[in-house]
Amino acid sequence: MMSLIDKPEIAVLCGPTASGKSELAMAWAERLNGEIVSVDSVQIYRSMDIGTAKPSFAMRQAIPHHLIDIVEPRDRFDAADFAIYAQDAISDIVARQKMPILCGGAGLYFKALFEGFFESPKPDLTVRAKWMQRASKEGAEAVYHWLVEHDPESAAQIHPNNVKRVVRAIEVFEATGQKMSLLKVTGKKQDRFIVRDSLFLNPPREELYSRIDRRTEKMFQDGLVEEVDRLLKQYPENSPAFQAIGYKESIELIHGKRTLEEAMTQVKRNTRHYAKRQITWFKNQKILGMV
């Protein structure tokens, strides 16, 4: 659906993990004659179904979903890549006179699509080596804490244990004097689209944590560990996708580093922490004024 000024109309549904976005997006799609564009940093990976809480086959048959199962777990895929794929998906949906419904919780993906993305400065190997050495001596948490203090928006989009990405954000900050989350190439908020409907889902914290716990338990019951075991036979253990919550803990379980109960408890804890970071990010960014 194009406006009089040739900007596509879209609907946006965002919020933390396990907040009920997928189900609501289905209702929106029926009401708005729409198709769903997933804004999720792990549902992009093929063969990773249980641990990413992908919409069911029945849901995807009933309403077309885009940007799910588009890359292999071994492949790197970032927000700049997403912006390109999403633009193509939106154009395709609009060309068929359908309403694109953007649904997900990957804040940096939303930002890249709506505002453009930063032109990354060249690597500074001296700065990188300094921070990698500090992470080795003091632990990943110490380095992540520094990033939280200086660039909380970027920190909210990076898992604390993903040392390479944490250090890269710090490297950009030291090289440019600017937060990585603020660097971008072109575009301003809402310049590219007309937002017809938007909603930020943010259930009460106790309810959200309960939903996270129930979903985590169901993932393990549905065969998450078996899914990860199959994937390890196909892809290297250092594949980018295996840093996702649920997969890393399952790999530790498979290697005997955790019990099933310990793995499940850790997934619940890490997912809650991730949800908190998502909420903080959206509130700080005020994407589309929804929060």
Q: pLDDT digits over 13-36, tens only?
A: 999 999 999 999 999 999 999 999
Q: Indicate whether 69 and 192 sit together in one domain.
A: yes
pLDDT score of 57 = 92
Per-position DSSP letters for 62-81, written without gaps between them: HS-EESSS-B-TTS---HHH
Work out the pLDDT band at 286, boundaries 50, 70, 90: low
pLDDT of 185 > 60? The answer is no
Q: Indicate whether 163 and 189 sit together in one domain.
A: no
Q: Indicate whether 44 and 104 sit together in one domain.
A: yes
Answer yes or no: is 2 within a domain: no
pLDDT score of 3 = 45
Answer yes or no: is 287 within a domain: no
Q: Indicate whether 226 and 132 sit together in one domain.
A: no
Which structural domain, as residue segments, surrounds residue 247?
206-275
Answer yes or no: is 1 within a domain: no
Q: What CATH number did the domain enclosing 170 receive?
A: 1.10.20.140
Phi first, then psi: what are they for 175, rounded to 5°? -75, -35
Answer yes or no: is 290 within a domain: no
- Domains held by the chain: number: 3
Query: Which two structure tokens, joined as six digits, stand for 77?
Result: 């895929």
Q: Indicate whether 110 and 242 sit together in one domain.
A: no
Entry pTM: 0.75
Question: Which pLDDT tens digit goes with each residue over 132-142?
Answer: 999 989 998 88
pLDDT of 209 > 60? The answer is yes
Phi first, then psi: what are they for 84, rounded to 5°? -70, -50
Answer yes or no: is 289 within a domain: no
Q: Return the exposure string of 9-43: e unless at least 16 CB atoms fall within 10 Å of the residue's CB, then b.
A: bbbbbbbbbbbebbebbbebbeebebbbbbbbbbb
Q: Indicate whether 29 and 77 sit together in one domain.
A: yes
CA-closest candidate to residue 275, choices 202, 182, 166: 202
C-alpha 208/C-alpha 216 separation (Å) is: 12
pLDDT score of 290 = 55
Answer yes or no: is 230 within a domain: yes
